[in-house]
Amino acid sequence: MDKCSFCGREKRDVNLLIAGIDGHICDRCAEQAHAILLEEMKKEGSFDLSGIQLMKPREIKEFLDQYVIGQDSAKKILAVAVYNHYKRLGQQVRDDETEIEKSNIILVGETGTGKTLLARTIARMLHVPFTIVDATVLTEAGYVGEDIESLLTRLLQVADYNVEAAERGIVFIDEIDKIARKGDNPSITRDVSGEGVQQGLLKLLEGSVVNVPPQGGRKHPEQKMIAVNTKNILFICGGAFDGIERKIAQRLNTRVIGYSAAQAADRIERENLLQYIAPQDLKAFGMIPEIIGRLPVLTYLDPLDRDTLRKILTDPKNSIIKQYVKLFELDHIQLEFDEEALWYIVDKAVEFKLGARGLRSICESIMMDAMFHSPSQGTQSLRITRDYASEMLERSHLNRLKAG
């Protein structure tokens, strides 16, 4: 009678028996062999810095240029930070050498200017564990929400629970402005999702050994913890800091006294005050001084003008228009956009004040009808004109977003 060559079970005792040249294997042994193979592949696929070719800052920026339009200042700072991070990881510290400290970064920019896109693009080219986490879900320990240690749980998961690799990773903390202190005056109630979270983040940012729950969630006495040293983890924080321009304007105005200072004020670009951002503005917004000190690299993202939005539509490798062309190409439909239609989409994005994120929403509203009907109509080509784009957008609910 046929039986499994591995476990000896007979055919009647298993769900499936797979025949080979000189033997058989049952479904249970096949599943077990697959699990062993995956485990071994995890070990072999661990992050190894020794085999990494160190990219120069200029090369890192050139890679970012392929996917992100504009924002040269932020790209340069990110490129240098990532480059220095690699060098820190490869540094062999001796007693007589200077130990290089990490420089955590904070990115400030309006919604839709590309903060998260920059982080995701860097993730494509990195050879270290990288994760993006949202600060809005964090609360102090003991309250509804996620513990601060959950940031490191995500990093551990990305590193396949290889602690050594996770300790050399990069964490992007999005929406950092949402944990700003709610007011200058001390409150009788605890600020559990604001200042409390900032205090909790301090130990992660500066570098300390943190006990992390491997599966996330709340800490329990019986749960086995994993000790992670954050000394070599690079933290990049991003936030819109909506309304911080008023803080910057107040600081610039208080400094303007006298004739020469008034001349200097004339050179200030009122349309882009973010470029003058300083640590004291973050403090005025509600970030505690200790956390500002642990985010020494402060940079900004420029607001997107018409020309930049137009380039975003078509220039990047994975631009919105290229994605639609590819989608229709899979249905053997040739899709084209008139130049006037593209500028119409850009003007609407400026009008709705949604940044680059708004481009996608507008394109979806314009293309929805065509994506619904074209595959079943046998259409071979489709041309999007300004009139067609205007008609489709007028019929959509998105047109109600017009800025008042």
What confidence tens digit (pLDDT) does each residue in 228-238 have? 999 889 899 99
pLDDT score at 403: 43
Angle made by CA atoms 122, 128, 131, in degrees to the nearest 5: 65
Number of compact structural domains in the chain = 3
Low-confidence residues of the chain: pLDDT under 70: 1, 40-53, 92-97, 140-145, 182-193, 215-223, 254-267, 397-404
In 160-309, DSSP assigns E strands to 170-174, 209-212, 226-229, 234-239, 297-300
Domain boundary among 252, 272, 300: 300
pLDDT score at 365: 92
Contact 197, 139 (CB under 8 A): yes
Task: To the nearest 10°, report the CA torsion of 356, 362, 363, 365.
Answer: 150
Contact 226, 161 (CB under 8 A): yes
Same-domain pairing of 187 and 265: yes
CATH number of the domain enclosing 210: 3.40.50.300
Same-domain pairing of 269 and 377: no
CATH number of the domain enclosing 330: 1.10.8.60
Q: Are strands 297-300 and 226-229 parallel, antiparallel or unpaired?
A: unpaired
Q: How far apart are the first and last CA of the chain?
A: 81
pLDDT score at 390: 93
Condensed to tens digits (0 to 9), the pLDDT of residues 163-188 reads 888 888 889 999 898 888 766 555 54
CA atoms within 13 A on the CB side of 199: 11
Domain boundary among 233, 267, 300: 300
Contact 361, 354 (CB under 8 A): yes
Same-domain pairing of 40 and 90: no
pLDDT score at 315: 92
Residue 5 resides in a domain? no
Same-domain pairing of 254 and 385: no
pLDDT score at 384: 95
Separation between Cα atoms, residue 171 and residue 6, nearest integer Å = 45
Same-domain pairing of 143 and 78: yes
Same-domain pairing of 120 and 228: yes
pLDDT score at 263: 53
Residues 6+ apart with CB under 8 A from 108: 238, 239, 240, 241, 244, 274, 277, 282, 298, 299, 300, 301
Would you state the structure tokens that stand for residue 384, as one six-digit string? Answer: 């999007």
Residue 2 resides in a domain? no
Of residues 73, 80, 74, 75, the one with CA closest to residue 56:
80
Residue 193 resides in a domain? yes
Same-domain pairing of 317 and 294: no
pLDDT score at 251: 86
Give buried/exposed letters for 11-44 (b at 16+ CB in 10 A, else e): eeebeebeeeeeebbbebbeeeeeeeeeeeeeee
Same-domain pairing of 328 and 184: no
Separation between Cα atoms, residue 401 and residue 381, nearest integer Å = 31
Domain boundaries, position 22? 11-44
Residue 6 resides in a domain? no
Residue 272 resides in a domain? yes
Residue 3 resides in a domain? no
Domain boundary among 240, 269, 300: 300
pLDDT score at 256: 46
Residue 163 resides in a domain? yes
Same-domain pairing of 320 and 266: no
Same-domain pairing of 266 and 322: no
Would you state the structure tokens that stand for residue 41, as one six-digit string? Answer: 């592949």
Would you state the structure tokens that stand for residue 266, as one six-digit string? Answer: 């004339």
Same-domain pairing of 387 and 358: yes
Residue 196 resides in a domain? yes
Same-domain pairing of 34 and 69: no
